Amino acid sequence: MAKEVMVRPEEFNNIVLSDAEADAYKFLLAHAGIEMDEGAEADFVTKRNLKSEAISRLAEKGKFLEAAAASIKEVVKHGYNCGREEDLPPNVKWSKQSYTYAFEEGQARVIAQNLIDSGLVTKEQLFDAITVTAMIKAAGITTEKMLEIYHDGIIIKPKERTLSIK
């Protein structure tokens, strides 16, 4: 069954950019990824802030387009999930079914011990495969506590920041 359709066809009429939104997009696009000295950056920030309202509306349209794309993907997927494989049009095919795997409760210990006993893996190899997140979960502590205790042994890698415009 398809998820609830979030975007109705008549809502697609809302994606046309106003002149101000198109101007803001062109301005941002022209400056995307460009290194600036302090003076150029200050000038950019001033101009960007003057376009803030149009940029906010542009961001709203971006959110709508993301929702629209997700909705389209879901309904198309559902549409082609009906019938048999041989009923699909020539330009459509499903990828091979893939799976994720998880241990039944308590089986990770049993299987790990069996792998060690059989010589297929060492304890050290298993320990090296454990993630920081898994270790935190197993220990029942917070990330902050883990970092407080073992700050020298954990590498902190930054994720991409998320911009929020309301």
| pLDDT tens digits, one per residue of 3-33 | 566 788 888 887 899 999 999 999 999 998 8
**DSSP letter, residue 82:** S
Pull the structure tokens for residue 117.
């006993």
Question: pTM of the full predicted structure?
Answer: 0.63
Rounded CA separation 103/139 (Å): 18
| pLDDT tens digits, one per residue of 101-150 | 989 998 999 999 999 999 999 999 999 999 999 999 999 999 999 999 99
Residue 67: how many other CB atoms lie within 10 Å: 13
CA distances from 109 to 15, 59, 106, 137, 160 (A): 53, 48, 6, 15, 35
Q: Percent of the chain beyond pLDDT 90?
A: 63
Rounded CA separation 125/27 (Å): 52
pLDDT for the residue 1: 43
Residues 5-36 as b/e (b if ≥16 CB within 10 A, e otherwise) read eebeeeeeeeeeeeeebeebbebeeeeeeeee
- More confidently predicted of 160 and 53: 53
Average pLDDT for residues 82-98, to the nearest whole number? 88
Contact 23, 54 (CB under 8 A): yes
Helix (H, G, I), strand (E, B) or coil at 89: coil
Which residues neighbour 117 within 8 Å (Cβ) at sequence distance 6 or greater? none
CA-angle at 47, arms to 43 and 48, nearest 5°: 115
